[in-house]
Amino acid sequence: MALKLRLKPCERVVINGCVVQNENRRYTLTISNFAQIIRGSDILQEEDAVTPVRRAYFLIQSMLLDPEVAANGSGAVAAMMAQLYTAFARPDMQDRIARAMGHIGERDYYKALSALRPVMEYEGTLLAAPSPASPSAPAASFQADGIGHHAGG
């Protein structure tokens, strides 16, 4: 089954490591076979990978973009995902993490990233919540939901 990408004007997409940029009008690109694809808007910059879920997302994204990272990164990403799975107590978040792990096993990194996006959003809400110990201080760790990792490590 072919994948149809509807590109906005000037939108970028990475296909098997090659950056493709659309011109000044909408365009539909049809991909007829499996390829590693990510839209420019879904790319996380390394300096933004500052939380556990964002670091896992960035590693999976790196695996999608670079075959060498994909060949060498499976052990690290498996360990990260296992830690995330046990850190989140919500079954819906655990389900998304498990789905992402399954997609990684199939080397379908874009689907793994898609499965992690809601977990990344949820992690953001946890980090934005005031800490029970000091309501005025920024949340430095995940105390809600059974997460004990510090935001910086």
Contacting residues for 80 by C-beta, under 8 A, at least 6 apart = 52, 55, 56, 59
Pick the closest to residue 112 from 100, 126, 99, 96 (CA basis). Answer: 100
pLDDT in tens, 24-58: 888 888 888 888 888 888 899 999 999 999 999 99
pLDDT in tens, 93-147: 999 999 999 999 999 999 999 999 999 999 999 988 776 654 443 333 333 344 3
pLDDT in tens, 127-142: 887 766 544 433 333 3
Pick the closest to residue 108 from 2, 18, 34, 31 (CA basis). Answer: 34
